[in-house]
Chains A and B, each alone.
Chain A
Amino acid sequence: MRSIQGRLSLGLIAILVLVSLVLVQSSLWLFEAALRRTLANNLREEAEGLLAAMVRGPAGPQLDPQRISPRYDRPFSGHYFRIELPERVWRSRSLWDASLDWPPAGGLAEALIDGPQDQRLLTYAADYRRSGVPVRIQVAQDYRPILDSFTRVRIAGLAVVGVAVLVLLLLQRYAVKLALRPLERARAQIAQLQQGKRQQLDRDAPAELQPLVEQINHLLQQTEQTLERSRNALGNLGHALKTPLAVLNSLTLHDELAAHPALQADLREQLAQIEQRVSRELGRARLAGEALPASHFDCQAELPALFETLAMIHPQGLDLSWQAPPGCRLPWDREDLLELLGNLLDNACKWADSQVRMSIETQPDGYRLLVDDDGPGIEPERRAEVLGRGTRLDEQRAGHGLGLAIVRDILASWQGDWTLADSPLGGLRVDIRLPRRSAAR
Chain B
Amino acid sequence: MRLLLVEDNVPLADELAAQLTAAGYAVDWLADGRDADQQGACEPYDLIVLDLGLPGKPGLEVLKSWRALGVSTPVLILTARGSWAERIEGLKAGADDYLTKPFHPEELLLRLQGLYRRASGLANQPLLEVGGLALDESRQLCLRDGEAVALTAGEFRLLRYLMLHSDRVLSKTQLAEHLYDGETERDSNVLEVLVNRLRGKLGRAVIETRRGQGYRFGGLS
A interface with B by C-beta (< 8 Å)? 235-236, 238-251, 253, 271, 275, 279, 283, 286, 302, 305-306, 308-309, 312-313, 315-316, 334-335, 338-339, 341-343, 398
Contact = CB atoms under 8 A, between A and B. Distances in A.
A243 B98 contact: no
Interface string B133-160: 0000000000000000000000000000
B38 interface: no
Given A238-B81, A283-B83, A343-B84, A309 B53 contact: no
A369 to B, nearest CB: 15
Given A243-B80, A306-B88, A312-B98, 14 more contacts: A242-B100, A242-B101, A245-B102, A246-B101, A248-B102, A250-B105, A309-B84, A312-B97, A315-B118, A315-B124, A341-B84, A342-B84, A342-B87, A343-B84
Interface stretch (B8-16, B61-69, B167-175, B186-194): B8-16
B98 A246 contact: no
Given A249-B104, A275-B102, A315-B118, A243 B9 contact: yes
A59 to B, nearest CB: 127
B84 A339 contact: yes
A-B interface, 4 closest residue pairs, ranked by CB to CB distance from nearest: A342-B84, A245-B102, A242-B80, A239-B80
B214 interface: no
25 contacts: A239-B79, A241-B80, A243-B9, A243-B80, A243-B102, A244-B11, A244-B12, A245-B102, A246-B12, A246-B102, A249-B104, A249-B105, A250-B105, A305-B88, A305-B91, A306-B88, A309-B88, A312-B97, A313-B97, A315-B114, A334-B85, A335-B83, A338-B83, A339-B84, A398-B104
Contacts of B85: 334-335, 338-339
Sorting the interface of chain B by its residue count into under 10, 10 to 19, 20 to 34 or 35 or more gives: 20 to 34
B19 interface: yes
Given A339-B83, A398-B107, A308 B91 contact: yes
B15 A247 contact: yes
Interface of B: 9, 11-12, 15-16, 19, 53, 79-88, 90-92, 95-98, 100-105, 107, 114, 118, 124
